[in-house]
Amino acid sequence: MIPNDVTNTIHDSSLLFSSYEAGSALKKALNMTREDILFELKASKLKGRGGAGFPTSTKWMLVAAAKGDDKFIICNADEGEPGTFKDRVLLMNYPFLVLDGMVIGAYTVGAQHGYIYLRGEYVYMRDYLEDCLAEMREDNLLGDNILGKEGFNFDISIVMGAGAYVCGEETALIESLEGQRGEPRNRPPYPVNTGLCGQPTTVNNVETLATVPHILLMGGEEYAKRGTASSAGSKLFSVSGDCDKPGVYELPWGITINELLEKVGARDTKAVQVGGASGVCVPKSKFNRTLSFEDAPTGGSIMIFNESRDMLHVLKNFMEFFVEESCGQCTPCRIGNQKLLEGVEMIERKDYTFSYINDLKDLAHTMKVASKCGLGQSSPNPFLSILEDFKDEIFLTKCNGGV
Ligand SMILES: Cc1cc2nc3c(=O)[nH]c(=O)nc-3n(C[C@H](O)[C@H](O)[C@H](O)COP(=O)(O)O)c2cc1C
Ligand code: SF4
pLDDT at 403 over 90: no
Which one-letter DSSP state was computed for residue 251?
Answer: E
Looking from the CA of residue 207, the nearest atom of ligand 1 is: 26
Instruction: Please check whether residue 228 lies inside any domain of the structure.
Output: no
Nearest to 331 by CA among 320, 339, 341: 339
Instruction: Please check whether residue 1 lies inside any domain of the structure.
Output: no
Q: Are residues 45 and 180 in the same domain?
A: yes
Among 223, 256, 278, residue at a domain's last position = 223
Q: State the CATH number of the domain containing residue 258.
A: 3.10.20.600
Q: Whole-number mean pLDDT of the chain?
A: 94
pLDDT at 398 over 70: no
Interval between CA 328 and ligand 2 midpoint (Å): 6
Residue 315 Cβ inside 6 Å of ligand 2? The answer reads no
Instruction: Please check whether residue 154 lies inside any domain of the structure.
Output: yes
pLDDT at 380 over 60: yes
Interval between CA 79 and ligand 1 midpoint (Å): 8
Range of the domain at 193: 13-223
Interval between CA 297 and ligand 2 midpoint (Å): 22
Nearest to 322 by CA among 309, 301, 346, 338: 338
Of 78, 319, 372, 381, the one to substitute when testing ligand 2's pocket (max ligand atoms within 8 A of C-beta) is 372
Give me the pLDDT at residue 10, please. Answer: 64
Of the pLDDT bands very low, low, confident and very high (cuts 50, 70, 90), residue 18 is: confident
pLDDT per position as a tens digit, 33-83: 999 999 999 999 999 999 889 999 999 999 999 999 999 999 999 999 999
CA gap 213, 216 in Å, rounded: 5
Interval between CA 262 and ligand 1 midpoint (Å): 29
Give me the pLDDT at residue 399, please. Answer: 54
Q: Are residues 174 and 294 in the same domain?
A: no
Q: Are residues 248 and 198 in the same domain?
A: no
Our count of domains for the chain comes to 3
Give me the pLDDT at residue 13, please. Answer: 58
Q: How far is CA 92 from the centre of its chain?
A: 17
Q: Are residues 34 and 128 in the same domain?
A: yes
Instruction: Please check whether residue 321 lies inside any domain of the structure.
Output: yes
pLDDT at 3 over 90: no
Could you check whether the bond before residue 189 is cis, i.e. omega within 30 degrees of 0?
yes
Q: Are residues 213 and 321 in the same domain?
A: no
Ligand 1 pocket by C-beta < 6 Å: which residues?
48-52, 54, 76, 78-81, 165-166, 168-170, 203-205, 208, 373-375
Residue 329 Cβ inside 6 Å of ligand 2? The answer reads yes
pLDDT at 170 over 80: yes
Of the pLDDT bands very low, low, confident and very high (cuts 50, 70, 90), residue 177 is: very high
- The phi and psi torsions of 288 (rounded to 5 degrees) equal -85, 0
pLDDT per position as a tens digit, 252-279: 999 999 999 999 999 999 999 999 999 9
pTM beyond 0.85: yes
Q: Are residues 238 and 219 in the same domain?
A: no
The percent of residues in the chain predicted with pLDDT above 70, rounded, is 95
Among 306, 339, 365, residue at a domain's last position = 306
Looking from the CA of residue 378, the nearest atom of ligand 1 is: 31
Q: Are residues 285 and 384 in the same domain?
A: no
Instruction: Please check whether residue 6 lies inside any domain of the structure.
Output: no
Q: Are residues 209 and 87 in the same domain?
A: yes
Of the pLDDT bands very low, low, confident and very high (cuts 50, 70, 90), residue 396 is: confident
pLDDT at 4 over 60: no
Interval between CA 339 and ligand 2 midpoint (Å): 15
pLDDT at 221 over 80: yes
Interval between CA 396 and ligand 2 midpoint (Å): 34
Ligand that comes closest to the CA of residue 105: 1
Q: Are residues 301 and 341 in the same domain?
A: no
* Amino acid present at 123: V
**Looking at the chain, how many residues does it have?**
403
Q: Are residues 143 and 213 in the same domain?
A: yes
Residue 333 Cβ inside 6 Å of ligand 2? The answer reads yes
CA gap 282, 288 in Å, rounded: 10
pLDDT at 234 over 70: yes
Q: Are residues 77 and 206 in the same domain?
A: yes
Ligand that comes closest to the CA of residue 164: 1
Q: State the CATH number of the domain containing residue 391.
A: 1.20.1440.230
Instruction: Please check whether residue 4 lies inside any domain of the structure.
Output: no
Q: Are residues 152 and 260 in the same domain?
A: no
- The phi and psi torsions of 373 (rounded to 5 degrees) equal -130, 175
CA atoms within 13 A on the CB side of 58: 7
Element (H, E) at 167: none
CB 352 within 8 A of CB 402: yes
Interval between CA 54 and ligand 2 midpoint (Å): 21
Among 166, 188, 223, residue at a domain's last position = 223
Instruction: Please check whether residue 124 lies inside any domain of the structure.
Output: yes
Looking from the CA of residue 166, the nearest atom of ligand 2 is: 3
pLDDT at 1 over 50: no
Give me the pLDDT at residue 2, please. Answer: 43
Interval between CA 377 and ligand 2 midpoint (Å): 8
Give me the pLDDT at residue 14, please. Answer: 79
